[in-house]
Amino acid sequence: MFLFFFDSLQFLRTTILCSYPHPFSHGREGGKMGEVTVTNVTEYQAIAKQKLPKMIYDYYASGAEDEWTLQENREAFARILFRPRILIDVSKIDMTANVLGFKLSMPIMIAPSAMQKMAHPDGEYATARAASAAGTIMTLSSWATSSVEEVASTGPGIRFFQLYVYKNRKVVEQLVRRAEKAGFKAIALTVDTPRLGRREADIKNRFVLPPNLTLKNFEGLDLGKMDQANDSGLASYVAGQIDRTLSWKDVKWLQTITTLPILVKGVITGEDARLAVENGAAGIIVSNHGARQLDYVPATISALEEVVQGAAGRLPVFLDGGVRRGTDVFKALALGAAGVFIGRPVVFSLAAAGEAGVSNVLKMLKDEFELTMALSGCSSLADITRNHVVTEAEKLGVMPSRL
């Protein structure tokens, strides 16, 4: 009986064959070194840790200082409970989403993650192909190890470009125009990084971009390399290049150099949400930079409702940070998000299995989200309401109960 039960479980689980190339080797994946059964997104992290050099894994995995917010980004989701509705026809589930006028297969998109060729030789190429195949958006980092033109060459797809504002504004103008010319559809302006957060793992490891890689978007500008430093090479790079004077007037300035919609990425308060509306942003991404900037800020899911209320329906609000389950996606939408972005699951699955890993992450999250919708009595995104969840504040009686 036990053997039958075990065999049945194995049959039902999705088996992913992971190959193990050296992370800095060239070409496609080599021979298989083992078979790993992956049943959820989080399991890719352990595979990535086993495969990647410590400096690279720590760069992707770590947060700022005590990493309280890093842990809280996940734990805050666990404190939100469901109020499912029953006896509703869920024989057909429609997960299609509209983001800035673009129709997506689901409200799950890929956040910008820097230097993806540290994880896998195909890097951002693989991520772009996986996103396009899944019918969703990939956001390319300014600090990608593939250029906007190279990513565009992978074929059709809806892509956003994440922007850091450099002290040299001519560099910024050139980069934005290149992204626009390459067919990118929006700019995600990162606004929470006038200085780099204190990432102690990077300091201990003296993190630096491996010598065979460059920040491809800046390669011809003598800004593509990162010098070795006594602490973090990235922190030194940011201190030398990123403009600390960045302010709301620069959101206006960006609108004078591009017709692309501008998403403000890094908003976690209602006050800043209102300012984003006033300054012509096309959308907001509630983000704490993967808990890599200021520690002890709230989890993004905890900050979401305040930002949604501040935006007052005048622009869409998205969320990134801590999303690891389809249930997390549902909770974010119930609290007012128009969609979510995922970051670490992409680089960990990329390290584990290349493009196939990223595709599997997107599929698992989509499948989990569809199941959550069905079990909650929702057949479309419009059916997901605030009444479908109970937050910790409501449980404690701080907010009026919906029960």
pLDDT at 34: 52
pLDDT digits (tens, 9 = 90+) for 339-370: 999 999 999 999 999 999 999 999 999 999 99
pLDDT tens per residue across span 217-244: 988 776 645 566 556 667 676 667 788 9
Round to whole Å and give the CA distance between 116 and 112. Answer: 10
The answer to whether the annotation marks 266 as part of a ligand binding site is no
pLDDT at 220: 75
pLDDT at 31: 31
Q: Is 22 a catalytic residue?
A: no
pLDDT at 102: 98
Please check if 324 is assigned to a binding site: yes
Distance between CA atoms of residues 22 and 261, nearest Å: 39
Name residues whose C-beta falls within 8 Å of residue 159's C-beta, 6 or more positions apart in sequence: 128, 131, 137, 138, 139, 140, 151, 152, 183, 184, 185
Domain spans, the chain: 41-396
**SS3 of 343, please?**
coil
Of the chain, the percentage scoring pLDDT greater than 90 comes to 78
162 is in an annotated binding site: yes
199/242 Cα distance (integer angstroms): 17
Q: Looking at the predicted structure, is the pLDDT value of residue 3 above 60? A: no
What is the per-residue pLDDT for 230? 59
Distance between CA 371 and CA 378 in Å, rounded? Answer: 10
CA dihedral 84, 85, 88, 94 (to 10 degrees): -40
What confidence tier does 156 reach under pLDDT thresholds 50, 70, 90?
Answer: very high
How confident is residue 33, by pLDDT bands cut at 50, 70 and 90? very low
Q: Is the pLDDT of residue 395 over 50?
A: yes
pLDDT of residue 145: 96
Q: Phi, psi (5° rounding) for residue 33? A: -115, 0
The reply, when asked if residue 313 is annotated as ligand binding, is no
Q: How far apart are CA 348 and CA 119, in angstroms?
A: 8
**Residue 28 assigned as binding residue:** no
- Determine whether the annotation assigns residue 287 to a binding site: yes
Q: Averaged over 265-293, what is the pLDDT?
A: 97
- Residue 228 has a pLDDT of 60
Which tens digits make up the pLDDT trace of 48-66?
999 999 999 999 999 999 9
Residue 109 pLDDT: 98
Query: In the structure, what pLDDT confidence band is assigned to residue 174 with cuts at 50, 70 and 90?
Result: very high
For the entire predicted model, the pTM comes to 0.89
Locate the DSSP E strands across 232-323. Answer: 262-267, 283-286, 317-320
For residue 114, the model assigns a pLDDT of: 94
The whole-number pLDDT of residue 107 equals 98
Of the candidates 287, 321, 295, the one whose C-alpha atom is nearest the C-alpha of residue 77 is 321
User: Which own/partner contact pairs does 397-401 have at CB distance under 8 Å and 24+ positions apart?
Assistant: none
Please compute the mean of the pLDDT values over residues 332-344 and round it to a whole number.
Answer: 98
Tell whether the model's pLDDT for residue 21 goes beyond 80. no
Give the CATH architecture of domain 41-396: Alpha-Beta Barrel (3.20)
Indicate which residue of 22, 120, 289, 388 is catalytic: 289
Residue among 47, 101, 113, 39 at smallest CA distance from 321 = 113
321, 73 in Cβ contact below 8 A?
A: yes
Q: Examine the pLDDT at 297 and tell me if it is beyond 50.
A: yes
- Whether the pLDDT of residue 126 is over 80: the answer is yes
| Residue 20 annotated as binding site | no
Q: What is the pLDDT of residue 9?
A: 37
Q: Please provide the average confidence, as pLDDT, over all residues in the chain.
A: 89
Query: How far is Cα 403 from Cα 384, in angstroms, rounded to an integer?
Result: 17
113 is in an annotated binding site: yes
296 annotated to a ligand binding site = no
